[in-house]
């Protein structure tokens, strides 16, 4: 294919835990009352993960192979596993102040809650202008450098709600604004697994795995890949423990074959002469060909703040089942394009039917005292 | 509850003797679970409901978005299937649950009546037979299956059908299809004026309007995103029974909360009828389905004994308790794909 492939992102799916509604209901009665001004909240996501279907024994047969190093190039049949949706969660803790979580696998995102007083207001509120407001905030943070200092600001989301506290019905609509470039971004090369890109780049010192050279080339390479990924992972663990926003980072390889990871703010000075500019983010998607939503505004930052026209992206994915497994990570080479002075955005979540539309959660069975009395022991 | 409130906190370790835990041991076991299985995390819960015998930030354990691909209720078991599963006990991985027995009992009122007669004993004695069967079965999972322990299973007797008036009748369960797709209130929500966004992977469009999508290639990556029920599963410390206790909150494939009746479809039908109750979560203001802990200590004690007897595990440490406990829970929740991955040998 001569035509470069369009880079497509997996949208977030919202996940509201019932405790969020419980706290919102309390706040509505005791704090906000009839005030419908916006309130800062926070959500969180965690790394995407492949879900092995063999254990579930369902539809798709789990064929051999897979794992690190298995070729997953575009068009070819990808690994025989499904993924869990990329989820952005909110719960009772979402009303506390955004702060740094230490060594957590959950990555915080600031958001804005707009709770309306009536269902009519919920319907009537100008959704286009709400989205535009948040988009402008993100865009301002990109231009001002605030987002470079704390890239979590790129993920600002919007949550429009109406809490019918008499019926315990909660109406809601999420928006995850993504700033649109003039031209959609393209992939310069097919998407590759992390091990294929960094496992193959061996420098200098032989690693423990090198003893495997006598077992044949393929095995040697996969051993080396494992060793390299492990070095990358431990460098990331170091970074996670010290960074304010460990969900976004810069990456470079070192002379000795190791890796260095730094905060996004250092973009201007981090990379050596002629070195491939490589950015990384903790990816809520688990798809073998697509990154998750947080990358969109991250790329907007990189393209706008540092005028990058081409970057390599490490979509960092930690296995939910094993702490030390990052083999589901993928690498993209992305061709960036420019942004308008006042860029447009998208982001309203699709409803049950696949079109943008609000959702409703009926918690009467779990919260309504009269219904509870029926099930009480 | 008052009963729990009045019961003193357990202070001395008794887990080897009776299968119960002290709060400190619960925390130690929780720390170990969080370390071994990264999907589990500690939660503080509602500060107003915090228990002072547990650390403020370690009130209970939670794992979110646990996929549940199939309904236990829908699983059809033939006798051959059941035999096959029992034969290779070690690999059965939770599949041993003799679900068909419960189903049969439910279908034949006569059999049910006999069971109730048999169950006409003091309630306190009831758990034993069942606990034995469970212990044997879980033992068969984690230790090498002995023919004897496996053979017990088909005959294991469950005399307590029909107890628990709070249980929704399975026949009254609403069909999932009955639930309307969209709320009528929300038909008119105002126009959303959004740009076309070719860079967004759209999953729903792949099914419906796919003329352009199909042209691109054979497989749409969005098809790989699992659309399935999920559960938020939490483990609290039950002060009265002095054991961990499991709570479930379910969502359908569109992330709408499940009703209790729907949650019951994902619990082994044996247990759904007698060991699952809908109660107030001790740390959140919600009522959730919970696996009642009255038998937990008993079963855990048996599992511990079996593991010790088998000799494969030198000394079982108390911090491994929750790993074993979750293995035992997988008998009750056979289709939930929660994380208890690490084998005890590796621990």
Q: How many CA atoms lie within 13 A of A59 on its CB side?
A: 9
Contact A8 B69 (CB under 8 A): no
Query: Which comes out higher in pLDDT, residue A213 or A99?
Result: A99
Give the pLDDT score at B102.
36
Could you tell me if residue B113 is left (phi over 0), alpha (psi between -120 and 50 degrees) or otherwise beta? alpha
Task: Give residue-wise pLDDT tens across range A235-263.
Answer: 999 999 999 899 999 999 998 888 999 99
Give the pLDDT score at A125.
93
Q: Which domain holds residue A87?
A: 5-180+343-375
- pLDDT tier, B179 (very low <50, low <70, confident <90, very high otherwise): very low
Give the pLDDT score at A52.
64
Q: How far is B9 from chain A (nearest CA, A)?
A: 24
Which CATH number fits the domain that encloses residue A247? Answer: 3.40.140.100
Question: Do A323 and A365 sit in the same domain of this protein?
Answer: no
Rounded to the nearest 5°, which phi and psi values hold at A143? -70, -35
- Mutation for A interface: B215, B285, B323, B341, most A CBs within 10 A: B285
Q: What is the mean pLDDT of chain B?
A: 69
Contact B194 A318 (CB under 8 A): no
* Cα–Cα distance measured from residue A181 to residue A189, given in angstroms and rounded to the nearest whole number: 20
Least confident of A347-356, B47-56, B149-158: B149-158
**Structural domains of chain A, count:** 2
- Mutation for B interface: A86, A289, A366, A370, most B CBs within 10 A: A366
Tokens found for residue A337: 């394009």
Give the nearest chain A residue to B40 (CA atoms): A320
Give the nearest chain B residue to A318 (CA atoms): B38
Question: Do A170 and A145 sit in the same domain of this protein?
Answer: yes
Residue with tokens 């107890």: B163
Question: Do A290 and A234 sit in the same domain of this protein?
Answer: yes
Inform me whether the C-beta atom of residue B128 falls under 8 Å from chain A C-beta atoms.
Answer: no
- pLDDT tier, A292 (very low <50, low <70, confident <90, very high otherwise): very high
Query: Which comes out higher in pLDDT, residue A287 or A80?
Result: A287
Question: Do A276 and A323 sit in the same domain of this protein?
Answer: yes
Q: Is the pLDDT of residue B122 over 80?
A: no
- pLDDT tier, A101 (very low <50, low <70, confident <90, very high otherwise): low
* Cα–Cα distance measured from residue A305 to residue A302, given in angstroms and rounded to the nearest whole number: 6
Give the pLDDT score at B268.
87
Give the pLDDT score at B148.
38
Kindly state the percentage of chain A with pLDDT values over 70: 80
Burial of B72-107, coded b for 16+ CB within 10 Å and e otherwise, reads bbebebeeeebeebbeebeebebbbbbbbbbbebbe
Give the pLDDT score at A209.
42
Question: Do A52 and A136 sit in the same domain of this protein?
Answer: yes
Query: Which comes out higher in pLDDT, residue A87 or A208?
Result: A87
Contacts of A173 in chain B (CB under 8 A): 189
Q: Note whether A131 and A158 are within 8 A (CB).
A: yes
- pLDDT tier, A214 (very low <50, low <70, confident <90, very high otherwise): very low
Which CATH number fits the domain that encloses residue A135? Answer: 3.40.140.70
Question: Do A9 and A145 sit in the same domain of this protein?
Answer: yes
Q: How many CB atoms lie within 10 A of CB A33?
A: 10
Give the pLDDT score at A14.
94
Inform me whether the C-beta atom of residue A312 falls under 8 Å from chain B C-beta atoms.
Answer: no
| Domain layout of chain B by residue ranges | 2-174+229-346
Least confident of A124-128, B114-118, B284-288: B114-118
- A 22-61 residues with CB < 8 A to B: 22, 51, 55-56, 58
Q: In this predicted complex, what is the ipTM?
A: 0.80
Question: Do A251 and A369 sit in the same domain of this protein?
Answer: no
Question: Do A19 and A138 sit in the same domain of this protein?
Answer: yes
Mean pLDDT of A125-148: 96
* Cα–Cα distance measured from residue B234 to residue B41, given in angstroms and rounded to the nearest whole number: 9
Q: How far is A67 from chain B (nearest CA, A)?
A: 17
Give the CA dihedral B135, B141, B147, B149, nearest 10 degrees: 0
* Cα–Cα distance measured from residue A86 to residue A105, given in angstroms and rounded to the nearest whole number: 14
* Cα–Cα distance measured from residue B256 to residue B252, given in angstroms and rounded to the nearest whole number: 5
Question: Do A199 and A330 sit in the same domain of this protein?
Answer: yes
Mean pLDDT of A93-117: 84
């Amino acid at each position: 294919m001569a035509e470069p492939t369009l880079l497509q992102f997996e949208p977030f799916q919202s996940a509201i835990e019932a405790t969020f509604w419980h706290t919102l209901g309390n706040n509505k009665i005791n704090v906000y009352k009839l005030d419908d001004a916006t309130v800062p909240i926070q959500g969180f996501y965690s790394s995407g993960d492949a879900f092995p279907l063999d254990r579930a024994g369902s539809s798709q047969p789990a064929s051999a192979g897979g794992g690190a190093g298995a070729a997953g190039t575009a068009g070819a049949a990808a690994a025989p596993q499904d993924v869990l949706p990329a989820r952005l969660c909110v719960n009772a803790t979402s009303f506390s102040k955004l702060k740094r979580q230490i060594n957590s696998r959950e990555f915080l995102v600031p958001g804005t809650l707009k709770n309306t007083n009536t269902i009519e207001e919920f319907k009537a509120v100008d959704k286009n202008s709400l989205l535009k407001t948040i988009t402008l905030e993100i865009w301002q943070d990109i231009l001002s450098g605030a987002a470079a200092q704390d890239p979590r600001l790129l993920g600002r989301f919007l949550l429009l709600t109406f809490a019918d506290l008499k019926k315990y019905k909660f109406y809601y609509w999420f928006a995850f604004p993504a700033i649109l470039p003039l031209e959609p971004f393209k992939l310069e090369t097919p998407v590759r697994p992390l091990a294929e890109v960094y496992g193959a780049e061996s420098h200098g010192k032989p690693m423990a795995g090198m003893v495997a050279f006598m077992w044949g080339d393929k095995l040697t390479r996969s051993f080396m890949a494992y060793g390299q990924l492990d070095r990358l992972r431990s460098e990331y663990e170091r970074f996670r423990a010290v960074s304010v926003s460990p969900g976004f980072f810069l990456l470079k390889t070192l002379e000795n074959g190791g890796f260095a990871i730094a905060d996004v703010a250092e973009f201007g000075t981090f990379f050596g002469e002629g070195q491939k500019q490589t950015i990384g983010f903790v990816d809520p998607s688990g798809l073998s060909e697509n990154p998750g939503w947080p990358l969109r505004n991250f790329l907007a930052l990189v393209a706008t703040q540092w005028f990058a026209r081409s970057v390599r992206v490490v979509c960092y994915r930690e296995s939910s089942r094993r702490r030390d497994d990052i083999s589901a990570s993928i690498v993209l080479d992305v061709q960036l394009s420019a942004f308008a002075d006042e860029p447009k955005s998208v982001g309203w979540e699709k409803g049950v039917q696949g079109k943008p539309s609000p959702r409703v959660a009926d918690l009467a069975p779990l919260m309504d005292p009269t219904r509870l009395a029926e099930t009480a022991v | 509850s008052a009963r729990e409130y009045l019961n003193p906190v357990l202070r001395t370790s008794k887990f080897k003797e009776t299968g119960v835990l002290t709060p400190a041991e619960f925390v130690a076991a929780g720390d170990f679970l969080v370390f071994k299985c990264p999907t589990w995390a500690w939660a503080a819960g509602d500060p107003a409901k915090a228990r002072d015998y547990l650390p403020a930030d370690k009130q209970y354990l939670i794992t979110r978005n646990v996929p549940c691909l199939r309904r236990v209720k829908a699983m059809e078991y033939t006798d051959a299937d059941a035999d096959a599963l029992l034969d290779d006990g070690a690999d059965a991985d939770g599949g041993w649950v003799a679900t068909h027995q419960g189903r049969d009992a439910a279908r034949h009122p006569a059999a049910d009546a006999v069971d109730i007669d048999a169950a006409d004993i003091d309630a306190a004695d009831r758990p034993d037979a069942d606990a034995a069967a469970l212990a044997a079965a879980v033992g068969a999972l984690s230790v090498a299956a002995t023919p004897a322990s496996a053979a017990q299973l088909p005959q294991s007797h469950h005399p307590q059908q029909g107890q628990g008036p709070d249980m929704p009748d399975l026949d009254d369960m609403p069909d999932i299809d009955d639930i309307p797709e969209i709320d009528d209130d929300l038909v008119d929500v105002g126009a959303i004026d959004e740009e076309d966004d070719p860079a967004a992977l759209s999953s729903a469009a792949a099914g419906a309007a796919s003329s352009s999508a199909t042209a691109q290639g054979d497989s749409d990556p969005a098809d790989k995103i699992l659309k399935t029920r999920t559960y938020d599963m939490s483990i609290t410390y039950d002060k009265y029974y002095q054991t961990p206790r499991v709570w479930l909150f379910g969502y359908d494939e569109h992330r709408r909360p499940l009703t209790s009746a729907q949650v019951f479809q994902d619990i082994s039908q044996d247990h759904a009828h007698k060991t699952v109750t809908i109660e107030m979560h001790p740390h959140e203001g919600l009522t959730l389905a919970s696996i009642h802990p009255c038998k937990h200590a008993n079963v855990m004690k048996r599992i511990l004994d079996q593991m010790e007897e088998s000799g494969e595990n030198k000394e079982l440490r108390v911090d491994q308790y929750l790993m074993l406990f979750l293995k035992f829970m997988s008998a009750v929740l056979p289709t939930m794909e929660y994380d208890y991955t690490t084998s005890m040998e590796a621990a």
